[in-house]
Structure 1
Amino acid sequence: MAEAEMETLVPALSITGASCQGCTKKIRAALEPLTGSTDRVEVDLENQTVALPADTDLADAAQRVTDAGYPAEPLWQPALSVSGATCQGCARKIRNALEPLTGAPERTHVDLEKQTILLMPGIDRNDAAERVTEAGYPARPLNDEEPVEPEQPEQPEQETNRTHKTPEHDETPEADLPAPASNDDQVQLSVTGATCASCVATIEKALMSVKGVTGAHMNLADNTATATGDADPDALVQAVESAGYGASVIEDPDAADEQKQAQDRKQYRDMMIKMAVSLGLGIGLMAYGMGFGSMMISDANQLTWINLGILTFAVMVVTGGHFYVGAAKAFRHHNANMDTLIALGTGTAWLYSMVVSLFPDVFPDMARHVYFEASAMIIGLINLGQALELRAKGKTSEAVRRLLDLRAKTARVIRDGEEQDIPVEQVRKGDQIRVRPGEKLPVDGIIVDGSTRIDESMLTGEPMPVNKASGDEVSAGTLNTHGSIVYEATRVGSETALAQIIRLVKKAQGSKPAIGRLADRISAVFVPSVMLIAVVTALAWFNFGPDPRVVHMMVAATTVLIIACPCALGLATPMSVIVGVGKAAEYGALIRQGDALQTAGKLDLVILDKTGTITEGHPAVTHVHAAEGDQAELLALAAGLEQHSEHPLAEAILERAKSDGAAKRSVTGFEALNGKGVQGELDGEPLRLGNRRWLEGVGIDLSDLDSAARTITDEAGTPLFLSRGNRALGVIGVADAIKQDSEAAIRRLHDAGIRVMMVTGDVQATAEAIARKAGIDDIRAEVLPEDKAAIVEEMRRKGHTVAMVGDGINDAPALAAADVGFAIGTGTDVAIESAAITLMRGSLHGVADAIQISRATVRNIHQNLFGAFIYNTLGIPIAAGVLYPVWGVLMSPILAGAAMSLSSVTVVTNANRLRLFKPRHESETQEGN
């Protein structure tokens, strides 16, 4: 115990919402299982930080405090400038090198974009720089003590997009959320050689076998694999290569995308050439056999067919060599995939034909048929199908490419009084940038000179340009449509809202919803099952088929191998997810994961926060009623209290006091009481401003103010009661206007069969008035923030699939508790990581849009999976010959090859239909794709 008392605790977490000793007690209790004792936790309410022992796992600590209702983030400071760190492997080495100083690798943050190392306060920077340099990455200490901007609460004077809450909400104004941390625990690989769902299963299994990997996902649609955990990237590459595929670490996603597009264009051209050669030979062989000779071997044409067989073999190697190489690799690693089926099918047809050509006397007369043309044409048709599939795949990522195209290539910065154009990568925080009409904004920032209209439609979906003037925030990728402005860069590189949107969309496009895991389970046994069916088919024809049995056996078995299409199964889900996530992004809905995309379509209850979600979030004073004295004195006292507060309601009261010329009174001992209001002292008497429940609870008689309060609530306002000592002085009404489109958006939710509930800290009468205006089905009033999550859980227990819609970090517990959490934001707020889906424009239409897109996407996935299953369920038996006993029909291997190619192209084409989908509004039919 003595050691614990002497232990030095260092500031470790930044928190929001903690304002009293009760909050301190909750935070200490939440961290006790981690630290071993509440004595090893210090909460600084003034600076909103938590100090912890040096060896504490900060990620775990932050999560525990957040779960307790106080959103928390690790508190880092930029400490070192580093060079040569280019990938997550470099970051891992740096963290390990600093572990003796920091206590744990997780207590070091490496910003690869800015080549900066962030450390906890108190770390010896000179020692840290030496250790990083010795690890192979030259580093030097930074003298600038400026805290990490994303990790710090926003200062009041800079809060241009704050969340507006009433005292009853028990919430503090929202600070800018921290920018998403770089995915230090994720490594993304570019994979080559994967062709089907069986390849996906093999690669994921190989990655999961690497030490430190906790999750792995292969996306066949864009040929990338993502491994989650603490694994060496080189080990991941080696694991994929050991499974028979090529792999490389993606260090620069943009460069990787450009390289992949170039490779895809080249691959498309190569496949079309190979298709032309193999189909040309196949058609030529068929024409020769049918027109000038015979497909049956005789003494007259035996030598000709032997030579044609050798030519066919050469063409098969040149145009289909990748299939045989892939099959050989799979065989060496005890796997089987689509290449295996193609190689076995075409190889069997060619080998049989060659043996017949060389030794015709061994076979009965009717069994001397050759199938060289089938081998060539099958390869040609499959190459054609893969080329068309590749072309269609390229269209699915148009949403991301459009986002990438928004980025400006250069910026016109003002340095030393002169304007100069520089690459956007060289723009630094604090640079002043001039943007003329018609130009894109290169980075995020704040206007310091000029006014204009900014087209933000590409980021938020809002069609009309927005007026911007000095002090307003602007975002990279938006378009300056009117005046010339100068603005100061605040976020550059990967920190900009546009960069984070691109990163989020890509991540979501690579995720796998639950419905996709059904295809995974089937694909794991698909190819071996097809091979077994082919063997059974061959034996059945050999033992029970008509003459020539050998020919029928070979044709049926080959057709079974060729017609089976595991690639259609592998593409069914990821293709639709890529298009669906991209389509949602076009409408300003940023989906973080595939499961959210799927679940959003099942919602039957949407719970809405009130302030900033249904309403504008800009409260204003509408009523001032004084029980004694005049209105000016009432406002002066209220303003005296609120001048110490950062709450949005404080701003409303201060603005009204200023406009009415009411001078603020000098109040001491200010204290904000969450869920109640604010209090202080004036001339030795307690001065309180807050809700009815609190003031009546401390013995204040408010009966004389009932009529005025009722008038306020009837008009959807919030009454704030002011008392001095034991006397009620009056009531101030504050109202927040309902957004113009909230009512229409809620009608769209009703049209979709979804009930809407509002939870608010406001009094019942105010909540009912707002619900009537907006058309809300159910309300829960006078709710404290910590109770919102309980309401969500209650609704889920009743069998509802629940969405929670809030305005960011203050609603985090409820957002996390819901089946799908929607965070309302604006184009410049970085509220991207706080919910499953983030709406870039502050409109509830985004919720309806996301739900409609979800339903369309899931319906599209069902169509793809149904088509793939039905194709294989019907195609394989027909290929095996089930129609022969009744109609005497046996499918040709050539037709099987065409059908197999068509199945994949059909899946990809159907997924691309989603690109044409548009969410329907009230006057239109809700469903439809």
Structure 2
Amino acid sequence: MSAPSAPAATSSPGADGRGSTASPAAARVELAITGMTCASCAARIERRLNKLDGVTAEVNYATGTASVTHEDAVDVDGLVTTVEHLGYGASLPAPPGTPRDDEPRSPDHADLLRTRLLVSVAMTLPVVVLAMVPAWQFANWQWLSAILAAPVVVWGGQDVHRAAWTNLRHGAATMDTLVSLGTLAALGWSFYALFLGEAGMTGMTHPLSLTADGGPGALYLEVAAGVTTFVLAGRWFEARAKRSAGDALRALLDLGAKDVAVRRDGREERVPVERLAVGDEFVVRPGETVATDGVVIEGHAAVDASAMTGESVPVEVGPGDAVSGATIAVGGRLVVRAGAVGAETKLARIARRVAEAQNGKAAAQRLADRVSAVFVPVVIALALGTLAVWLLVGAGASAAFTAAVAVLIIACPCALGLATPTALMVGTGRGAQLGILLRGPEVLESTRRVDTVVLDKTGTVTSGEMSLAGVVTLPGVDADELLLRAGALEDASAHPVARAVADAARGRLGDLPAAVDVASRDGLGVTGTVADRAVVVGRGRLLEERGVPVEGALADAVAEVERGGSTPVGVAWADEDGVPRARGVLAVADTVRPTSAEAVAALHRMGLRTVLLTGDHETVARAVADEVGIDTVVAGVLPEQKADEVARLQDAGAVVAMVGDGVNDAAALARADLGLAIGTGSDAAIEAGDLTLVRGDLRLVPDALRLARRTLRTIGGNLFWAFAYNVAALPLAALGLLNPMIAGAAMAFSSVFVVGNSLRLRRFRPSA
């Protein structure tokens, strides 16, 4: 399917992940921003949007987007107008399913920069060589240099000057202001020296200097052209790197089918996937991509979901099985009924989660944004101060001018703005490829502090695919009757234990009678009426509440089942007198996932304590914990008590990560310091989690923690070097120890370094 777009306005938490304070009924819109050239641009747009009533905005320079949470009364078109009044472009996302293939495509910005860079390099190279090699300076060489340098500064640096002028008209200053002032000043001084000074004389020579010195005839043509070219090179590398950083998300979006064979009126019709509607039946042939999420109604095939989940083994599906869009039918023909389309598909939700994570900001980046917002005015003041001090100490106008220009050029805050977004883009994109979805940078900061991992048992450590392992009846009770009554009652429940009992009963006895007055007790069992008899099926506590004591023969049967490592399910029903009596125990077993022990061992190697949290009896839980190597067992916990157990661990000083998959885990996932939801579980659990693991392989838990921590370390390293670069370079420039051209090269390198450091996350390898 085509790349899914987020709706123009959807209910969503605030941009900072804590929920917008704008209104209880807030909506979110993602604006595409054009014309931003540095972190200061992003900070300026963000400040202006946040001044609007009922608006909370976060602007991401690296992704070129603004994530805006707003009250329903806010005019979304007004947000676009606000950005445009600042001198930037803004547009709303296209609605989901909007065809784009036939639209004319404008040249990629990186390609435009590349063309401009190549021409600028060709013209700058002779200017720099002539300026730095006095032996090659022929008669009137300086005039040739001026002819070559002027187009580089004016045409090659047009984006910089245009942005600086736009900002000046709105009373603002950005990094472009610094570069534009520096290069135009260097070019202007050089033309002054050529036409009105001594530099235009035939036979003039220019000595090589890496510092701020020179006489009244000094030229800075190589500075003007060289800085412009270095800035162009830095932005081209930056644009390419940012494009590479988003490759994982784009590859994810490109997984979908572009068209689909829909069955209508007894015939197949090939239509664009955007025209597919919920309820449509479509055909998937061998080798084709499943167009959207749905349920198989005809045929059998193996479905390869590796691109979506990272799971390498295809899964056999048949009638009644759910399939996801963007998976591939390896063998066999399927007919699928569409259950979700457009923005509601699993692929679209994954893409939306990844994009939202990339738009967030870590606490350190928020500090960097505040610094960059005041950085440019401070640098301009520092440059003027440098010029004044050098003039006051009698160093000469040329040296003073050179030092001031070097200060302007070296002080680019661009690397600060790229530090977090590029690392997030690469880290979240790589995570999506591996089946790990991060909510945002706040999650990364949580992973660093975690010391205890709490694991739900059923569906997390175990497969969650329960099966009936045996039937233990009390004297005088027929096993088939016990299984029939229990299976009929459990057939009304969706709990994994209930499904195991019902499926076993149906497979052994055929059709089951209908149960009436069915009432489910979370974590305890089910009550109801089957064949005019009140029936109770569940844990011992439920039986005792209904007047059936767990003692004698029943207690012995329960102990027998528990010794075998299975979960005991008591069964009781009433005779004609209406008094319920114990009839036997069903043994239900859940197999441990084959990768769970490996995952727990990996968590231990990371220095983390593990806890198994389950509603099962302690004997059963102990057997599972011993098999996989979990440290601590907390058993017999009702669903509503799971969050309390997490809180108890936190009160004892633990920083808790909770791993779960069911509705009954949602509260605990939300209560934990870090929630990891198994993506094969319920929507409630997934929404409550901070990290979502797309497939049910527990080895993704240590991988997710490792990836999150490595991404956070990369962000920290980026910010450190970006700050350190400015702190170290500005004094050198002010003291006249940096030629402006060297300063321009260093400034460009700092941005490239930050982006390149982030791209190393693409090499992250899972443990298995």
| Structure 2 length-normalised TM | 0.88
Give the match for residue 368 of structure 1: 217
- Looking at structure 2, the residues matched to 240 and 260 of structure 1 have their Cα atoms a distance apart, in angstroms, of 24
Q: Which of residues 694, 709, 721 in structure 1 aligns to 2:542?
A: 694
- Looking at structure 2, the residues matched to 700 and 716 of structure 1 have their Cα atoms a distance apart, in angstroms, of 24
- Looking at structure 2, the residues matched to 677 and 797 of structure 1 have their Cα atoms a distance apart, in angstroms, of 31
Give the match for residue 706 of structure 2: 852
CA apart distance, 1:197: 2.0
Query: Could you list the per-position Cα deviations for residues 16-75 of structure 1 after superposition, in whole angstroms to 9, with x for gaps in the alignment?
Result: xxxxxxxxxxxxxxxxxxxxxxxxxxxxxxxxxxxxxxxxxxxxxxxxxxxxxxxxxxxx
- Looking at structure 2, the residues matched to 587 and 484 of structure 1 have their Cα atoms a distance apart, in angstroms, of 28
- Looking at structure 2, the residues matched to 206 and 660 of structure 1 have their Cα atoms a distance apart, in angstroms, of 69
Contact 2:6/2:343 (<8 A) preserved: no
Give the match for residue 485 of structure 1: 334
Q: What letter matches 1:581 in structure 2? A: T
Change (3 A) 1:628 1:422: same
**Correspondence 1:655 to 2:503:** yes
Q: Which of residues 467, 470, 474 in structure 1 aligns to 2:316?
A: 467
Q: Which of residues 658, 677, 680 in structure 2 aligns to 1:826?
A: 680
Query: Could you list the per-position Cα deviations for residues 268-305 of structure 1 after superposition, in whole angstroms to 9, with x for gaps in the alignment?
Result: 334324532552463365279653358xxxxxx6xx85
CA apart distance, 1:555: 1.2
SS class of match (1:327): helix
- Looking at structure 2, the residues matched to 846 and 870 of structure 1 have their Cα atoms a distance apart, in angstroms, of 35
Give the match for residue 340 of structure 1: 177
Contact 2:325/2:347 (<8 A) preserved: yes
CA apart distance, 1:252: 4.7
- Looking at structure 1, the residues matched to 6 and 473 of structure 2 have their Cα atoms a distance apart, in angstroms, of 64
Give the match for residue 117 of structure 2: 272
Give the match for residue 205 of structure 1: 47
Contact 2:678/2:686 (<8 A) preserved: no
Q: What letter matches 1:791 in structure 2? A: E
Give the match for residue 264 of structure 2: 415
CA apart distance, 1:782: 1.6
Give the match for residue 115 of structure 1: none
Q: What letter matches 1:224 in structure 2? A: T
Contact 2:610/2:631 (<8 A) preserved: yes
Change (3 A) 1:681 1:194: closer
Change (3 A) 1:637 1:288: closer
- Looking at structure 2, the residues matched to 397 and 259 of structure 1 have their Cα atoms a distance apart, in angstroms, of 22
**Correspondence 1:239 to 2:87:** no
Q: Which of residues 380, 383, 398 in structure 1 aligns to 2:232?
A: 383
- Looking at structure 1, the residues matched to 532 and 261 of structure 2 have their Cα atoms a distance apart, in angstroms, of 58
CA apart distance, 1:306: 7.3
Contact 2:488/2:530 (<8 A) preserved: no
Q: What letter matches 1:283 in structure 2? A: V
Contact 1:504/1:591 (<8 A) preserved: yes
Contact 2:178/2:408 (<8 A) preserved: yes
The equivalences for 1:168-567 within 5 A come to 185-213=27-55, 215-230=56-71, 231-252=74-95, 262-276=107-121, 278-280=123-125, 282-283=127-128, 286=131, 291-292=136-137, 309=146, 312-360=149-197, 366-544=215-393, 547=395, 549-567=396-414
- Looking at structure 2, the residues matched to 639 and 569 of structure 1 have their Cα atoms a distance apart, in angstroms, of 63
Change (3 A) 1:229 1:716: farther
Contact 1:756/1:777 (<8 A) preserved: yes
Contact 2:117/2:156 (<8 A) preserved: no
Change (3 A) 1:827 1:221: farther
Query: Could you list the per-position Cα deviations for residues 406-464 of structure 1 after superposition, in whole angstroms to 9, with x for gaps in the alignment?
Result: 11111122222222322111222333222222221222222222211111001111011
The equivalences for 1:871-886 within 5 A come to 871-881=725-735
CA apart distance, 1:521: 2.3
Contact 1:542/1:550 (<8 A) preserved: yes
Contact 2:612/2:633 (<8 A) preserved: yes
Which sits farther off after the overlay, 676-685 or 500-509?
676-685
Query: Could you list the per-position Cα deviations for residues 799-826 of structure 1 after superposition, in whole angstroms to 9, with x for gaps in the alignment?
Result: 3332221114332222211222222123
CA apart distance, 1:830: 9.6
**Correspondence 1:787 to 2:679:** no
Give the match for residue 620 of structure 1: 467
Contact 1:809/1:834 (<8 A) preserved: no
Contact 1:717/1:733 (<8 A) preserved: yes
Query: Could you list the per-position Cα deviations for residues 232-288 of structure 1 after superposition, in whole angstroms to 9, with x for gaps in the alignment?
Result: 222212222233322222225887999898432442334324532552463365279
Change (3 A) 1:563 1:766: same
Q: What letter matches 1:198 in structure 2? A: S
- Looking at structure 2, the residues matched to 706 and 250 of structure 1 have their Cα atoms a distance apart, in angstroms, of 63
Query: Could you list the per-position Cα deviations for residues 880-909 of structure 1 after superposition, in whole angstroms to 9, with x for gaps in the alignment?
Result: 22xx7xxxxx22111111111111111111
Change (3 A) 1:617 1:365: closer
Q: What letter matches 1:351 in structure 2? A: G
SS class of match (2:687): coil
Q: What letter matches 1:806 in structure 2? A: G
- Looking at structure 2, the residues matched to 261 and 830 of structure 1 have their Cα atoms a distance apart, in angstroms, of 42
Change (3 A) 1:354 1:769: same
Q: What letter matches 1:711 in structure 2? A: E
CA apart distance, 1:321: 2.2
Q: What letter matches 2:429 in structure 1? A: G
Change (3 A) 1:353 1:659: closer
Change (3 A) 1:550 1:478: same
- Looking at structure 2, the residues matched to 732 and 375 of structure 1 have their Cα atoms a distance apart, in angstroms, of 84
Change (3 A) 1:252 1:655: closer
Change (3 A) 1:495 1:528: same
Change (3 A) 1:789 1:578: same
CA apart distance, 1:687: 3.5
Q: Which of residues 399, 423, 430 in structure 2 aligns to 1:576?
A: 423
Query: Could you list the per-position Cα deviations for residues 190-224 of structure 1 after superposition, in whole angstroms to 9, with x for gaps in the alignment?
Result: 222222222221110011122321x2111111211
Q: How many residues align?
A: 729
- Looking at structure 2, the residues matched to 493 and 627 of structure 1 have their Cα atoms a distance apart, in angstroms, of 55
Contact 1:473/1:828 (<8 A) preserved: no
SS class of match (2:585): strand
SS class of match (1:434): strand
SS class of match (2:484): helix
CA apart distance, 1:727: 3.4
Change (3 A) 1:278 1:250: farther
Give the match for residue 909 of structure 1: 756
Change (3 A) 1:365 1:639: closer
Q: What letter matches 1:500 in structure 2? A: R
Change (3 A) 1:407 1:261: farther
The CA RMSD measured in Å over matched residues stands at: 3.1
Contact 1:719/1:733 (<8 A) preserved: yes
Contact 2:539/2:568 (<8 A) preserved: yes
Q: What letter matches 1:206 in structure 2? A: R
Contact 1:497/1:830 (<8 A) preserved: no
- Looking at structure 1, the residues matched to 277 and 710 of structure 2 have their Cα atoms a distance apart, in angstroms, of 42
Q: What letter matches 1:868 in structure 2? A: A
Query: Could you list the per-position Cα deviations for residues 134-158 of structure 1 after superposition, in whole angstroms to 9, with x for gaps in the alignment?
Result: xxxxxxxxxxxxxxxxxxxxxxxxx
SS class of match (2:592): coil
Contact 1:635/1:662 (<8 A) preserved: no
Change (3 A) 1:641 1:496: closer
- Runs of at least 5 residues in structure 2 that lack an aligned partner in the other structure: 13-24, 200-212
SS class of match (2:295): strand
